[in-house]
Amino acid sequence: AQPGAVKPVAVPMRDLKWGTLNFLHTTDTHGWHAGHLQESQYSADWGDYVSFAEHMRRKADEQGVDLLLVDTGDRVEGNGLYDASTPKGKYYYDIYRQQNVDIICTGNHELYQASTADQEHLQTVPNFRNNYIASNLDYVDPKTGERSPMAQRYRRFKTKNQRIDIVAFGFLFDFTGNAKNTVVQPVKKTIQEDWFQKVVRESRPDVFVVIGHVGVQMQEFKDIFRAIRLHNPNTPIVFFGGHVHVRDATSYDSRSFAIASGRYFETIGWMSVELGSDAPSFHRRYIDNNILGLYHHTGLNASTFPTEHGRNVTSMIAKARAELDLDYIYGCAPKDYWMTRAPYPHENSIYSLLEKQILPAIVVNPKRAQVPRLAIMNTGAIRFDIFKGAFTRDTTFIVSPFLSVLNYIPDVPYRVARKVLGLLNSGGQIMDEDFVPWHLMAIPEQQVPRKSVIYEKKPPKVSDSMGQQVPLGRFGGGDDAHDGPVLIEGYTTKDDIGDDGDDAVHANIDFHVVPNCIQAEIAFPKEKEPETVDLVFFDFIQPWVLFALKVSGGNQTAADVKSYVPDTFSDLMSEWMKKNWPRKCD
């Protein structure tokens, strides 16, 4: 763990079950390779994961079984370690490559900005030359304009100890928001291509491994499954997914299994497959990225766990964090502000903080300061909670990593503009079928349909006695199924396989569904409704806003859209913290 990270807390554990073929899986790490410095149960860092993997590979060798490491993309954007440097990722690429990842693919975040896609092509692909797979992704050379596969389309190899013959694919969901220097081919089209058909019809491996930046409940994985199964009725097929930022597992039939391993390096996924008998059996665990859990699973302790390589990686990260000055404090948050742990609207909701305080203060164009305006922001623009205490340079990127800017359309009739928010939040009923899905404005956790889950509240058995800030590591009120030790709050995953997937037994956390967008009314006259308003919105949601205006009877087009203020939202937000929150934390 990093210097300054909160102390880990031991919790009741469920063990890992080893099979003949075993996997460790990371996804959607979004630059959190320093771990969660403020959260006790996720505070291990990439160096600890390097040590963990070394020990687990040794254990596999001792048992004569095999272990493979998988990463399914979105490694960038979302944490100061990646975002705070110029250029972005100055330290990240060398830190990430220290892990020996056997099968790796691309996420959508590697592709939003052309410069990020360039770096993926120039750094991560060569760093993992034999292991990187791009089944449906091409790169366009900036000099020649030539389009070629980002990496090999599939990988065939034999495992180290048992020589298990594996064919692996690496997919990205049907993403359309990529920069112009990449081409994402829809999955349905890719699986019709000759190369894919030849592999699934002729290769006859022992196991197919499909990794993808795709939610395990998404259609893309189901289509790939069907295409492989059609010609391989008995071959085990395992899937490693991501993108939706949730812990999830399912099986598409009795010989297949799929796991998604959460987000932000909170989770290291574990899947084991027992191949020996007629029908394969599968097991999954969601390992909290808690150093005490990593000790538990390896049977080691603080002095025997860190390997030399792991220690060096931890030092590399600490050095990078110090050089980037990530602990520089902008202000001190007076309390926790939650994305989904509080309802919206609510005094503890981060979205209410934005609507009531931050947006009215930052959505100001000096030339139009007197003009009434509606400011619309998509909830997906916010990526993480704000915890009571220091709001740092790092926190800025954690909460808002995007380079989002505010655009506007001047003087929109209020009778038209007032309808826009309702339409954006209408659940898609008014959108025509070809339109970019409405739910893409919301947080990734809601990108497959989700309901609020609110647990019965019980008084906590003990208070937080650690004397420091441990937002998700607080002691919770207990768990109905568990009368043993006091539990702390964390993941209590229910997936298609059951409710025993998490390696750590935790107390529940509420999940409140949030709308696609929120809106602040700014500089409205007190006496009566305005005739016209400036309609200000995040550039990311422009296509939806224009569509909603059209449906509301407006005639505005992209030609009417102008820049409202030059700064990014992230800069405006951290300036607000500087001005409005005390510099010193108690």
Ligand X SMILES: Nc1ccn([C@@H]2O[C@H](COP(=O)(O)O)[C@@H](O)[C@H]2O)c(=O)n1
Q: Specify the residue for token string 């893409």.
A: 440
CB of 558 to ligand X, least distance (A): 17
Q: Decide if residue 286 touches ligand X (CB under 6 A).
A: no
Nearer to ligand X, 449 or 484 (CB): 449
CB of 245 to ligand X, least distance (A): 6
CB 256 within 8 A of CB 207: no
Q: First CA to last CA across the chain, in angstroms?
A: 24
Q: Is the peptide bond before 87 cis (omega within 30 degrees of 0)?
A: yes
- Which residue type, as a one-letter code, is found at position 456? E
State the Cα angle at 509 between 17 and 4, rounded to 5°: 80
Q: Does 354 bind ligand X (CB under 6 A)?
A: no
Among positions 518-537, residues that touch ligand X (CB under 6 A) are none
Report residue 274 as tokens: 């027992």
Closest separation in Å from C-beta 112 to ligand X: 6
3-state secondary structure of 92: helix
Separation of alpha carbons 258 and 169, rounded Å: 14
The residue (of 31 and 473) whose beta carbon lies closer to ligand X is 31
Binders of ligand X in range 111-130 (CB under 6 A)? 112
* Angle separating helix axes 291-298 and 46-63, nearest 10 degrees: 10
What's at 471, amino acid-wise? Answer: P
Is the Cβ of residue 423 or residue 504 nearer to ligand X in the bound state?
423
Q: Nearer to ligand X by C-beta: 153 or 383?
A: 383
Asked if 124 and 93 count as a contact pair (C-beta separation under 8 A), the reply is yes
Whole-angstrom Cα distance, residue 518 to residue 530?
20
Q: Count residues binding ligand X (CB under 6 A).
A: 15
Q: How far is the CB of 5 from ligand X (least distance, A)?
A: 24
Element (DSSP H or E) covering residue 298: helix 291-298
CA distances to 126, 479, 528 from 105, in Å: 12, 37, 55
Neighbours of 528 (CB within 10 A): 7
The residue among 281 and 404 lying less far from ligand X, judged by its C-beta, is 404
Phi, psi (deg, nearest 5) at residue 385: -70, 160
According to DSSP, the β-strands at 237-241 and 247-250 are unpaired
- Which string of x and - marks every residue 539-558 that binds ligand X (by CB under 6 A)? -x------------------
CB of 214: closest distance to ligand X in angstroms?
A: 11
Nearer Cβ to ligand X (106/395): 106
Tell me if 444 contacts ligand X by CB under 6 A: yes
- Using CB under 6 A, pick the residue from 88, 109, 321, 418 that binds ligand X: 109
3-state secondary structure labels for all residues of 536-579: EEEHHHHHHHHHHHHHCCCCCCHHHCEEEEEEEHHHHHHHHHHH
Residue of the chain from 35, 212, 380, 490 that contacts ligand X (CB under 6 A) = 380
- Cβ–Cβ under 8 Å, residues 473 and 38: no
- Identify which range of 108-116, 342-350, 358-366, 410-418 contacts ligand X by CB under 6 A: 108-116
Element (H, E) at 66: strand 66-71
In the complex, minimum distance from the CB of residue 328 to ligand X, in angstroms, rounded to a whole number: 24
CA distance linking residue 462 with residue 303, whole number of Å = 30
Pick between residue 241 and residue 444 the one whose CB is nearest to ligand X.
444
CB of 440 to ligand X, least distance (A): 4
At its nearest, how many Å lie between ligand X and the CB of residue 569? Answer: 9
Q: What is the closest distance, in whole angstroms, from the C-beta atom of residue 109 to ligand X in the complex?
A: 5
> Whole-angstrom Cα distance, residue 44 to residue 247?
18
Q: Does the footprint of ligand X cover residue 284 (CB under 6 A)?
A: no
Q: Cα separation of 3 and 149, whole Å?
A: 41
Report, in Å, the least distance between residue 146 CB and ligand X.
27
- Judged by CB under 6 A, which of 140, 259, 398, 440 binds ligand X? 440
Nearest CA-CA partner of 395 in 484, 445, 304, 327: 327
Strands annotated E in 153-234: 154-158, 165-172, 182-184, 207-213
User: Is position 108 an interface residue for ligand X (rule: CB under 6 A)?
Assistant: yes
In the bound state with ligand X, the residue whose beta carbon lies nearer, of 371 and 403, is 403
Judged by beta carbon, residue 533 or residue 541, the one nearer ligand X is 541
Nearer to ligand X, 77 or 102 (CB): 77
Q: What type of residue sits at position 29?
A: T
Among 381, 518, 533, 549, binds ligand X (CB under 6 A): 381
Contact 41, 490 (CB under 8 A): yes
Nearer to ligand X, 38 or 447 (CB): 447
Among 41, 159, 250, 378, binds ligand X (CB under 6 A): 378
Which member of 227, 441, 488, 533 binds ligand X (CB under 6 A)? Answer: 441
Is residue 74 involved in binding ligand X (CB under 6 A)?
yes
> Least Å distance between CB 541 and ligand X?
8
Neighbours of 276 (CB within 10 A): 9
246 touching ligand X, by CB under 6 A: no
Question: Whose CB is nearest to ligand X?
Answer: 380
* 29 binds ligand X, rule: CB under 6 A: no
Neighbours of 146 (CB within 10 A): 10
248 near ligand X, judged by CB under 6 A = no
How far apart CA 87 and CA 120 sit, in angstroms, is 13
CA distances (Å), origin 353, targets 5, 130, 338, 365:
27, 47, 10, 21
Q: How far is the CB of 380 from ligand X (least distance, A)?
A: 2
Shorter beta-carbon distance to ligand X: residue 91 or 112: 112
CB of 184 to ligand X, least distance (A): 13
Near ligand X by CB under 6 A, which window of 332-340, 374-382, 419-427, 567-575?
A: 374-382
Determine the Cα–Cα distance for residues 246 and 218; give it in Å rounded to an integer: 13
Minimum distance from residue 243 beta carbon to ligand X (Å): 5
The region of 293-301, 309-317, 437-445, 546-554 touching ligand X under the rule CB under 6 A is 437-445
Residue of 227, 229, 265 whose CA lies nearest to 37: 265
Under the binding rule (CB under 6 A), the answer on residue 88 touching ligand X is: no
| Binding region for ligand X (CB under 6 A) | 74, 108-109, 112, 243, 378, 380-381, 402, 404, 440-442, 444, 540
